[in-house]
Amino acid sequence: MTLGTRLDAATGHLPAPLAVVDLDALEANADDLVRRAGGMPIRVASKSVRVREVLTRVLARPGFAGVMGYSLREALWLVSQGVDDVLLGYPTVDTGALDELAADPRAAAAVTLMVDDIAQVDLAAKAAVAHGTTLRVCLDIDASLQVKVGPWRAHLGVRRSPVHTAEHAGELAALIASRDGIEVRGVMFYEAQVAGLPDTSPAVRMVKRLSIADLATRRSAVVDAVTAAVGHPLDLVNSGGSGSVQTSAAAPSVTEVTAGSGLFVPTLFDEYRSFEPRPAAFFGLDVVRIPAPGYATAFGGGYIASGPATKSRQPRPVWPAGLALTDREGAGEVQTPLRLSSGTDLRVGDRVWFRHAKSGEVMERFATAHLVRGEAIEASVPTYRGEGGTFG
């Protein structure tokens, strides 16, 4: 039975637009991440899921431990729902949320803040001192590849943390250690040029190899420098992403890896060679009119992924086969016209299934995610949005 036939059978009684998660594919992806991690604990990136029930199910599986959150208010909410280990993946300057964190001993023990600038630390320290508590922080280390050949310089990776060298990391750690109410828990390296790029060319694969070699030595030097600066061993050295789980897990000093997109496998992950893509998240739209022979128009669908405004960020129709977005309109705010290839037929009322370009972002568009197993809905659960949680 085809994917579309299964999803139609499970959700045909429901109105569209609607979001579904294929549990069989999700669980197979989770097992594959654990296999590739080789025993290293996997922290789940919540921004790539944004459905609390799915987070709960994944965290209950062997091999997964803790959440990487993207917002401090999200972290506080997750702790209130029973999550006991949230590492923020990004710095925060939300002073109200910092005050809430410092005022709640349970949250303060469960949440680790991400920092790469003493100004961020000072905001956290002010809240910690006001409430007589200790807040834990993790240093975000720039994991990009910086290539220097004579006068030529290249920055290969994302523009993330300003902290790149072991010397800089040690200096920042020493400054942090001098602040009251703050404890350095660990360091994080997100090698976006390895974990977030598909294997589309020999040049990309070469950059990945060079980056892995660079981090193999620089990561250990950073850990040593930070440890010396704070005067105690680090209990957290986080690295990786879904596309680099196996190389990050095998690296010296690393204590855990992060993965999120590898659970749902959006279209941007289709070209990876490091794992077998098993798409697990879909959204369905219903055809509402036939504007001309060879075309059909579906209601909704303008769910464009973040990043550079290119075709790669558009959703992709995957069932029935033989459908494509039109160049003039693409995925529309209220309607999405589709071009039909020869032999493909759609009628008013038919359902079309799409995949999103990125992972958890599409769940911001829906209040409910339908968890499908085989040809039936196992559960219909709220997304973050459905629970009233819009965290950025």
Label residue 205 by pLDDT band (50, 70, 90). low
Residue 8 lies in a domain: no
Cα distance between residue 277 and residue 20, in whole Å: 17
The verdict on 239 and 286 lying in the same domain is: no
SS3 of the chain: helix, strand, coil, percent, to 5: 35, 25, 35
Label residue 342 by pLDDT band (50, 70, 90). confident
The verdict on 48 and 159 lying in the same domain is: yes
At residue 54, the pLDDT reads: 98
At residue 195, the pLDDT reads: 47
Cα distance between residue 226 and residue 188, in whole Å: 12
At residue 145, the pLDDT reads: 67
Tell whether the model's pLDDT for residue 64 goes beyond 90.
Answer: yes
Cα distance between residue 27 and residue 263, in whole Å: 8
| Structural domain of 286 | 281-386
Q: What is the mean pLDDT of the chain?
A: 91
State mean pLDDT over 121-147.
92
Residue 16 lies in a domain: no
State mean pLDDT over 357-383.
97
Label residue 214 by pLDDT band (50, 70, 90). confident
The verdict on 250 and 323 lying in the same domain is: no
Which of 263, 290, 305 is the last residue before a domain boundary? Answer: 263
CATH number for the domain that contains residue 146: 3.20.20.10
Tell whether the model's pLDDT for residue 178 goes beyond 70.
Answer: yes
CB atoms within 10 A of CB 125: 22
Give 323's strand partners. 340
The verdict on 286 and 221 lying in the same domain is: no
State mean pLDDT over 57-64.
98
At residue 367, the pLDDT reads: 98
Tell whether the model's pLDDT for residue 387 goes beyond 90.
Answer: yes
Residue 276 lies in a domain: no
State mean pLDDT over 163-182.
95
The more confident residue out of 207 and 390 is: 390
Q: Are strands 111-115 and 135-141 parallel, antiparallel or unpaired?
A: parallel
Label residue 206 by pLDDT band (50, 70, 90). low
The verdict on 44 and 123 lying in the same domain is: yes
Task: Return left, alpha or beta for 330; rule: phi > 0 is left, psi -120 to 50 is alpha, else beta.
Answer: left
Q: Can you read off the two tokens belonging to residue 314? A: 């558009």
Number of domains in the chain: 2
